[in-house]
Amino acid sequence: MKEQGGRRPHATARPATQRGLTMLSLLAWGVAIAFVGLIALRVFPTVNEYWTILRTVNKVANEGGSTVPEIRAAFEKQKQIEYSITSVSAQDLQITKVNDKVVVSFAYDKQVPLFGPAFLLIKYEGKSK
């Protein structure tokens, strides 16, 4: 097949463009992923401790007793079993009654060291259901 003028048509008029990452962008993505991973590894134990405290507070509010000293004693007993609870003591609990139901609440701050003088401050709070 010939076109007018005696030239043959080309299958592609221009070369295909290359796609992908340059070495610099790959390095930037690697640093960003490493930084997010570092933060996740440092924060996960504090989140796990918060979940443990929340489970313990729910258990104590439902089964721990009806007076403030009984609830505090039950929390201390559970705290001895759950060795991961270090941020909250029985004295830090706010214990109230709402419609004849015991409600135990807590709040605390956790500083997570990242690197050098940089820290991440996380404020946790929760209450029994």
Residue 95 in domain: yes
Q: What is the mean pLDDT of the chain?
A: 87
Residue 17 in domain: no
The pair phi, psi for residue 86, each rounded to 5°, is: -125, -15
Report, as an integer, the average pLDDT of 60-71.
Answer: 86
91 has pLDDT over 80: yes
Identity of residue 2: K
10 has pLDDT over 90: no
109 has pLDDT over 80: yes
Residue 7 to residues 11, 15, 62, 74: CA-CA distances in angstroms? 13, 19, 88, 92
Residue 3 in domain: no
Residue 64 in domain: yes
Residue 71 in domain: yes
Confidence (pTM): 0.75
Q: How many Cβ atoms are within 10 Å of 39's Cβ, its own excluded?
A: 13
pLDDT for the residue 1 = 54
Residue 106 in domain: yes
Domain residues for the domain of 46 are 23-127
Q: How many domains does the chain have?
A: 1
pLDDT for the residue 114 = 86
Residue 8 in domain: no
pLDDT for the residue 3 = 55
Report, as an integer, the average pLDDT of 57-61.
Answer: 91
Share of the chain above pLDDT 90, in %: 55
Residue 18 in domain: no
